Copies of this chain bind each other. A is one copy, B any other.
Amino acid sequence: MHVPIVKSILTSNDQIAAENKAVLDQHGVVAVNLMASPGAGKTSLILATARSLPAALRPAVIEGDLASSIDAELMAKNGIPVVQINTGGNCHLDAPMIRSAFPHLPFGEFELLLIENVGNLVCPANFALGAHLALVVASVPEGHDKPYKYPGMFAAADVVVLNKVELKEVFEFDPDYFWRGVQMLKPEAPIFEVSCRTGAGVAEWAAWLAQHVAGVATQNT
């Protein structure tokens, strides 16, 4: 007897992810799947990016957390449309969760959807959501060896942002070693160094993102 359960689940997730992407395209929305360790600064990067985007590119956010709505409340306080998904202990978002958030989003009032995945450098990489761009956020205090230890996540990245760069000396962080690791896994991924706390590098990153979003939007029309 053959019971192909895992395959079915993944196939079904991929199928719903494709449907999610079609819905987003239809509404002229480009979506970014933000993945990172707990505390790397996904929420801070979303807030800093939102402040630096051109006015014509309005963001909305989906917050994925095991529990709590701490980040979503922060988004709402900053005037960003937001939907909270509590995964109930699940270690990653999946495509059906994103689909269930769509009816709560103000489509027509935003062009960029930033999806903050559960803080986890392993599992989220294995579940497509229907996003157009996979962003991996790393941070200096985590150490420069992360690409070597979590290769699956960095191999899944379309772009990498390194946060908290003002602490490189404190943590004896070797950027060359870090970037060599990333490039070994994903040679074509653009790389940005930022500090959400000081604001360094955020404008460059936001400018690239805005340009990338415009490129995807043009392809879809």
Give the B-binding residues of A (Cβ under 8 A): 3, 5, 37-39, 65-68, 70, 89, 91, 118-123, 139, 141-143, 145-146, 148-152, 164, 167, 170
Contacts and interface: CB of A to CB of B under 8 A. Distances in A.
B91 A146 contact: no
A123 B91 contact: yes
A155 to B, nearest CB: 11
A65 B167 CA distance: 25
Task: Tell me whether chain A's interface is mostly helix, strand or loop, or mixed.
Answer: loop
- Could you say which of A68, A141, A142, A170 has the most chain B C-beta atoms within 10 Å of its C-beta? A141
A138 B144 CA distance: 18
The number of times this chain is found in the oligomer is 2
A65 B148 CA distance: 10
Given A139-B141, A141-B164, A39 B123 contact: no
15 contacts: A37-B142, A38-B121, A38-B149, A38-B150, A39-B146, A66-B152, A67-B148, A67-B150, A70-B149, A118-B122, A119-B149, A120-B123, A122-B123, A141-B142, A141-B167
A91 B122 contact: yes
Given A68-B148, A149-B65, A143 B3 contact: no
Contacts of A123: 91, 120, 122-123
Contacts of A150: 38, 66-67, 119
A160 to B, nearest CB: 14
